[in-house]
Amino acid sequence: MEQRLTTRRVTGLAGLGAAVLFGTGNALWAFDQPDAGASTRTILAFYKHTSGRIIAGASLSLVSCALLVLFASGVRAILREHEGDDLFATTAFGGVLLLIGAGLGAETINMVGALRAGDGQLTPELARALFEISYVLGYNAPGVGIGIVLLAVAAVALRAHTLLPRWLALLLLIAGLVFLTPLSRFLLAPAVLLLVAVSAQLLRTPTSRTALSPHTTV
């Protein structure tokens, strides 16, 4: 039982840390980011004037990716307890890894633009290529990983009847399907807030209540 509680707390701390680092890192520069399809001149100006903040923010986001690996492992362990096997638990783990892959690509590619701008070596062609690729990886690609995680969690909850209330599991099922569509580009901020909420709930595990019975499912 103590091991279960420790797993939940570590998972919650990892998720909360990842959300805070990612949110803080992106807040340093994302509000100045041009929209998709912006002119090359606007993109060049963006990299030139925010290069230092992009590098700092990307560095924080890369650390958040490392924490997400720990979070993914914890989610897998928790889902496995409720599922009885590890089909959907491993699916959720893979979804987080897909999310991490998209994040690593977006942050590092965007950082290249900032580094080259800081060196005065950013050409218009390179700026546009780096911006467009990092934009898609940062706003569209993460939806696939997030959608897979939500669908896997919903499947375990509907199957086990213990992880989440049925209405919430159905809501996650719908949200997971939405994240697999192009609408995911508008849902990045809500996804970060969802990570905060889930992590906070894991940290609020009622130790005393759980300890009342060794058969209680956490």
Tell me phi and psi for residue 121, to 5 degrees. Answer: -115, 15
pLDDT tens readout for residues 23-77: 999 999 999 999 988 999 999 999 999 999 999 999 999 999 999 999 999 999 9
97 CB-near residues (< 8 Å, 6+ apart)? 69, 72, 145
Cβ–Cβ < 8 Å for 40, 124: yes
For the stretch 8-28, pLDDT in tens is 899 999 999 999 999 999 999
How large is the average pLDDT for residues 190-210?
77
Which pLDDT score, from 0 to 100, does residue 1 have?
A: 58
pLDDT digits (tens, 9 = 90+) for 107-160: 999 999 999 999 999 999 999 999 999 999 999 999 999 999 999 999 999 988
Closest among 50, 22, 56, 33 to 135, alpha carbons compared: 33
**Sole residue written with tokens 């569509």:** 181
pTM: 0.85
Domain ranges of the chain: 2-205
Signed CA dihedral, 19, 22, 25, 28: sign only: negative
First to last CA, the chain: 8
Q: What is the pLDDT of residue 209?
A: 38
- DSSP-derived letter for residue 133 is H
pLDDT higher than 60, residue 213: no
Exposure string of 198-217, with b = 16+ CB inside 10 Å and e = fewer, is bbeebeebeeeebeeeeeee
